[in-house]
């Protein structure tokens, strides 16, 4: 029998067989393996087999049948090997995606990765994915986000961009998360709103699927009785898959996937892969949602802690201020009594000393200085009293005329005229009468001192929206620009005569009343002080 093939011989070198190459040294001595992997593909082997059959060898027929069976097995083996490779790639893909979503705590980042994996060509390959999530109150199944094109032109543009730029799955997910999440929500906003339904609607297709924990492959949505026709029209497809997302029997959401663009039928293995992916996705989404809730609660806790700290600090400040007030009040009263006696004696002496007497000048100096000391003590007392205001409703026009009346003598002596522009019928303000009287008196006094050669003092009131305005204007030289910005700070003074506490304390009083004080120079001449106060709404007057 001619032997065209080396199938039944031992070989001592690779050159003896045309089907052997470097790396096949093992096949030189393993005839069985060489027969299956090389000889069955060699034409010389089949020439030898035909020679045996022609020579009437019975074993040749059996060998031919065996070879056919082996060929079928080899083909089946190759098919299984191909499927195994596909499943292995799917497993690696699922492992990669699952590892990514499990490593994140950001809900939108998790969802971006998941929906990108579902719609990407190197992923599950669906044209569109829609995610519905159970809300925090567990009352509704709401449309959260959708991914995919709405028109064929969009699909072609997106697919061309992906193919051209060779994006990896992670790159596509990151781009979607950072740049497209908000726009995709807006693009599908009408669809997401239409697909949202109450969880109490138990006979709806979506809720049935979510409650039943079993995925659904719907071949024709129009034949489904338990879904709103408007929702079917909005989806624009017949075939969809519905995959429930559950975590420890807790309903998380529902995933809807379809091939709206290419209309490719959905294979069963695609649905099985999606079901496999749904479990880790549900866990990741629930974890991300819980983390968001935790961050929100932590934010509330931080706010509460900050408010508590502020209240504690306020209490400490109030205790310190109360102590300061008591000390100031004690010393003021202790000093005021002997000071009044000294001032009284000095004034009494000045009345009995003739005008030309040298001693009169010294006595008048004592009177002036004791008056200054009395003013300083009064400001200190007013400061201590400002720590504990007592509020009541008052007519600000009446308040102004009362304070003005107490300064008539000083105005007459200074040659200062007054002009009133008081708006009648103003709402009443809730104020501490004593504090506001002091505040107005301090402003009037500053204005009088700014006009040593006489002038005019204009006092006006009006209403601006939800505030009352008191405006006091003088015709003095105004306030120097370098002082104007901090004229209401303690001990700032424009005339060198006052102690510098008046306007500072006045600003503090206005703040405690929920108001404000603005000091500016007039366009013509002099200074303008504007006081803003909230007012009390009359019964029946809408705010």
What is the model's pLDDT at position 461? 95
Q: What is the pLDDT along the chain (543 residues), one digit of tens a residue?
A: 445 566 666 777 878 788 888 888 877 777 777 777 777 777 777 777 777 667 765 555 546 655 665 676 677 777 777 666 656 666 666 666 676 677 778 888 888 888 888 887 777 789 899 999 999 888 999 999 998 877 666 656 666 565 566 666 667 777 777 767 788 888 899 999 999 999 999 999 999 999 987 899 999 999 999 999 999 999 999 999 999 999 888 899 999 999 988 889 998 888 988 888 888 888 888 888 888 888 888 888 999 889 888 888 877 876 776 776 677 777 777 787 888 888 888 888 888 888 777 888 888 888 888 877 877 777 666 666 666 677 889 999 999 999 998 888 888 878 999 999 999 999 999 998 888 888 898 899 888 888 988 899 999 999 998 899 999 999 988 888 877 766 656 545 555 444 455 677 788 888 888 899 998 888 878 899 999 999 875 544 444
Burial class (CB in 10 A: 0-12, 13-18, 19+), 526: buried
Q: Do the beta carbons of residue 117 and residue 97 sit within 8 Å? A: yes
Q: Do the beta carbons of residue 237 and residue 274 sit within 8 Å? A: no
HSE-up of residue 64 (Cα within 13 Å, Cβ side): 14
Q: Do the beta carbons of residue 322 and residue 387 sit within 8 Å? A: yes
* CB contact set of 392 (below 8 Å; sequence gap of 6+): 430, 431, 432, 433
What is the model's pLDDT at position 422? 93
Can you tell me the distance from the alpha carbon of 121 to that of 307, in angstroms, rounded to the nearest whole number? 52
Can you tell me the distance from the alpha carbon of 116 to that of 123, in angstroms, rounded to the nearest whole number? 8
What is the model's pLDDT at position 139? 93
What is the model's pLDDT at position 389? 72
Scan for tokens 């994140």, then name that residue: 104
What is the model's pLDDT at position 238? 94
What is the model's pLDDT at position 462? 95
Can you tell me the distance from the alpha carbon of 351 to that of 363, in angstroms, rounded to the nearest whole number? 10
Residue 203 DSSP class:
T
Can you tell me the distance from the alpha carbon of 535 to that of 430, in angstroms, rounded to the nearest whole number? 6
What is the model's pLDDT at position 175? 78
What is the model's pLDDT at position 112? 84
Q: What is the b/e burial string over 243-279, where b = at least 16 CB atoms within 10 angstroms of the residue's CB?
A: bbbbbeeebbbbbbbbbbbeeeebeeebbebbeebbe
């Amino acid at each position: 029998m001619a032997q065209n093939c080396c199938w039944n011989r031992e070989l001592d070198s690779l050159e003896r067989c045309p089907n052997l190459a470097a790396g096949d040294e093992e096949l030189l001595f393993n005839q069985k393996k060489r027969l299956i992997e090389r000889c069955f593909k060699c034409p010389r082997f089949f020439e030898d087999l035909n020679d045996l059959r022609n020579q009437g060898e019975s074993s040749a027929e059996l060998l031919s049948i065996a070879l056919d069976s082996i060929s079928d097995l080899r083909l089946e083996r190759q098919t299984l090997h191909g499927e195994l490779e596909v499943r292995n790639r799917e497993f690696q893909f699922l492992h990669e995606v699952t590892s990514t979503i499990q490593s994140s705590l950001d809900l939108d980042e998790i969802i971006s990765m998941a929906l990108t994996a579902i719609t990407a060509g190197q992923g599950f390959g669906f044209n569109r994915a829609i995610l519905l999530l159970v809300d925090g109150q567990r009352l509704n199944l709401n449309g959260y986000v959708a991914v995919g094109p709405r028109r064929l032109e969009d699909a072609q543009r997106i697919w061309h961009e992906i193919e051209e730029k060779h994006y990896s799955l992670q790159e596509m997910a990151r781009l979607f998360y950072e740049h497209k999440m908000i726009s995709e929500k807006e693009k599908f906003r009408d669809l997401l709103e239409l697909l949202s339904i109450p969880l109490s609607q138990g006979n709806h297709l979506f809720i049935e699927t979510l409650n039943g924990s079993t995925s659904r492959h719907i071949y024709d949505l129009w034949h489904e009785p338990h879904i709103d026709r408007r929702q079917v029209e909005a989806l624009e497809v017949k075939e969809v898959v519905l995959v429930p997302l559950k975590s420890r029997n807790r309903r998380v959401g529902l995933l809807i996937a379809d091939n709206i663009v290419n209309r490719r039928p959905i294979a069963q293995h695609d649905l099985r892969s999606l079901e496999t992916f749904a479990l880790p996705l549900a866990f990741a989404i629930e974890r991300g949602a819980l983390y968001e809730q935790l961050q929100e609660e932590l934010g509330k806790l931080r706010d509460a802690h900050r408010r508590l700290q502020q209240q504690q600090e306020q209490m400490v400040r109030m205790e310190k201020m109360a102590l300061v007030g008591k000390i100031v009040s004690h010393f003021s009263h202790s000093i005021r009594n002997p000071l009044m006696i000294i001032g009284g004696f000095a004034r009494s002496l000045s009345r009995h000393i003739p005008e030309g007497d040298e001693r009169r000048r010294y006595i008048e100096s004592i009177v002036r200085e004791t008056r200054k000391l009395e003013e300083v003590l009064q400001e200190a007392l007013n400061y201590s009293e400002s720590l504990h205001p007592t509020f009541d409703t008052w007519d600000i026009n009446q308040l102004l005329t009362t304070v003005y009346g107490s300064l008539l003598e000083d105005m007459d002596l200074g040659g200062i005229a007054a002009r009133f522009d008081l708006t009648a019928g103003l709402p009443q303000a809730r104020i501490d009468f004593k504090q506001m009287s002091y505040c107005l008196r301090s402003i009037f006094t500053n204005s009088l001192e700014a006009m040593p050669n006489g002038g005019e003092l204009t006092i006006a009131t009006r209403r601006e929206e939800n505030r009352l305005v008191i405006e006091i204007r003088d015709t003095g030289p105004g306030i120097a620009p370098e002082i104007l910005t901090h004229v209401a700070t303690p001990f700032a003074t424009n005339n060198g005569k006052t102690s510098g506490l008046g306007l500072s304390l006045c600003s503090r009083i206005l703040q405690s009343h929920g108001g404000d004080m603005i000091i500016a120079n007039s366009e013509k001449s002099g200074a303008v002080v504007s006081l803003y106060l909230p007012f009390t709404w009359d019964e029946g007057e809408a705010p």
